[in-house]
Amino acid sequence: MALRLTLKPNERLIIGGAVVKNGKARTELVVENEVPILRERDILSPRAATTPCRRIYLAIQLMYVEPERLAQHYTAYFDLVRAVAEAAPSTLKFIGPMNDDIVGRRYYQALKNARHLVDYEQELLSHGEERA
């Protein structure tokens, strides 16, 4: 089934590992085959991966768009997850579903679950700043 995307002016997305930027006008694209696609709002740049949970999100994102380097991204992911789970056991409620998705090769769904982990991390960091 084809995927219909409507892009805002200057919006970026990743299609099958290629970064594509829309021009000045609103555009509609139809992707007719199955390929990894991430819209700009879902893309995390390596420079923006400044916390452990954001680095987990980035590792999953790379699994999704760089399948040729899957082993390397798996290693990074599981090392990060182990460290986060040890430091903050309350994150396991987010990590479990992500791991299930990773093992099932459902990387886009894992990214959606990772977004919840990143939000939770931000919440924890905000509470820590309030106490300081």
Pair (34, 64) in one structural domain: no
> Is the pLDDT assigned to residue 128 strictly greater than 80?
no
Range of the domain at 22: 3-40
- Rounded distance between C-alpha atoms, residue 113 and residue 46, angstroms: 19
Percent of the chain with pLDDT over 90: 86
Domain count, the chain: 2
Does residue 132 surpass a pLDDT of 70? no
**pLDDT higher than 70, residue 129:** no
Q: Give the separation between CA 59 and CA 117, rounded to whole angstroms.
A: 13
pLDDT at 131: 59
Could you tell me if 12 and 51 lie in one domain? no
- Kindly state whether residues 76 and 20 are assigned to the same domain: no
Q: Are residues 62 and 127 in the same domain?
A: yes
Sign of the CA dihedral running 101, 46, 37, 26 = positive
pLDDT single digits (tens) 67-113: 999 999 999 999 999 999 999 999 999 999 999 999 999 999 999 99
Instruction: Mark whether 70 and 114 lie in a shared domain.
Output: yes
Copy the structure tokens of residue 86: 């040890």
Asked whether residue 20 carries a pLDDT value surpassing 70, the answer given is: yes
Q: How much is the pTM? A: 0.90
Q: What is the mean pLDDT of residues 107-128?
A: 93
Same domain, 56 and 121: yes
